[in-house]
Structure 1
């Protein structure tokens, strides 16, 4: 009460103003992104390598695909239905897809640097913030890898002249499996 009289933020006002606060005997809680602590961990070698390789492969395969567009046939496969029917479209579609997928992969990789801004389905506390950050960053590393596999699976039929998109399915499976794994783990790490 004395703090409120001096013009400071009282305990009851702290959550509404986005400031860190402590509820009774529980750890310090961060109700807003601004009040959260900075990440103080580094990714393990495996996840750093996976992220670096994913971005490198995405950049290289996208660049190579874009360089090959002039030598591609006028019509290229652009959609594969579940029944196996293939739809064809202009090779300018290849350019559009490559220029869309590459920024998505790079953007996802860049987001791994800013776990403080991620949305979590519960409040972070002093006790769980760093492990939640690490888990979320690892999930994004796997999402980046899955997106790279999916985009490579799209580019290969154009580059090789076949209609095999098995890597798209593999990438989709990795994407779904990794997201389920890390979301379940997020709740266990609370």
Structure 2
């Protein structure tokens, strides 16, 4: 049986999430644009688990994360237009399609937000570290990122399996 292909109308919270993601994307691209002339010729290219730089590269490498972020953002934006192609933990029917699709698309929006803001933070921290203003990413980035991603996935899974009108 083919899943219903319906157009999902964003709610106000979805529009807010999109704006937050777009602001993050603008920062991700804007930060290197603003600071590029001030960046030393060598910048940190890789950070160890403790957040300190352990590999270095030419300053032109500052564009790697913004390019990756832009490609992933656009890819997730495009993919979220086709929720009927996603995998779901339960069977999609005419009765539950709107709820399931809406929740899945919201999850994609949240992934975009986390993605661009984390990449913007890493890009900013790379520049600050290269300029000697900071000593790496900090040792809290990985735990915060893990908690955020696991929390989002858990919340999305709970929402998608919750019965219509249930608690």
TM-score past 0.5 threshold? yes
Q: What residue is the counterpart of 1:78 in the other structure?
A: 45
Q: CA contact under 8 A between 2:47 and 2:53: conserved in structure 1?
A: yes
Partner of 1:127: helix, strand, or coil?
Answer: coil
Moved more, 158-167 or 98-107: 158-167
1:174 aligns with 2:148: yes
CA RMSD of aligned residues (A): 2.5
State the TM-score, normalized to the length of structure 2. Answer: 0.77
The aligned length equals 157
Higher alpha-carbon Rg: 1
In structure 2, the CA distance between the partners of 1:41 and 1:95, relative to structure 1 (3 Å rule), is closer
Residue 186 of structure 1, aligned match among 156, 160, 165: 160
Q: What residue is the counterpart of 2:66 in the other structure?
A: 98
Q: CA contact under 8 A between 2:31 and 2:124: conserved in structure 1?
A: no
In structure 2, the CA distance between the partners of 1:65 and 1:95, relative to structure 1 (3 Å rule), is same
Moved more, 72-81 or 83-92: 83-92
Q: CA contact under 8 A between 1:147 and 1:171: conserved in structure 2?
A: no
Q: In the TM superposition, what whole-angstrom CA distance separates every residue of 1:159-186 from its partner, at most 9, and x where no partner exists?
A: 3342353584444432221112102322
Moved more, 77-86 or 178-187: 77-86
Report the CA distance between 1:69 and its aligned residue. Answer: 3.2
Structure 2 unaligned spans of 5+: none
Q: What residue is the counterpart of 1:36 in the other structure?
A: 3
Name the structure with the higher helix share.
Answer: 2
Between the two structures, name the one with larger relative contact order (CA 8 Å, sep ≥ 6).
Answer: 2
Q: What residue is the counterpart of 1:13 in the other structure?
A: none
Q: In the TM superposition, what whole-angstrom CA distance separates every residue of 1:19-75 from its partner, at most 9, and x where no partner exists?
A: xxxxxxxxxxxx3xxx32232442211221111221232134314314533431122
Residue 112 of structure 1, aligned match among 70, 80, 95: 80
Looking at structure 1, the residues matched to 71 and 101 of structure 2 have their Cα atoms a distance apart, in angstroms, of 23
In structure 2, the CA distance between the partners of 1:168 and 1:85, relative to structure 1 (3 Å rule), is closer
In structure 2, the CA distance between the partners of 1:138 and 1:45, relative to structure 1 (3 Å rule), is same
Structure 1 unaligned spans of 5+: 1-30
State the TM-score, normalized to the length of structure 1. Answer: 0.69
Report the CA distance between 1:156 and its aligned residue. Answer: 1.3
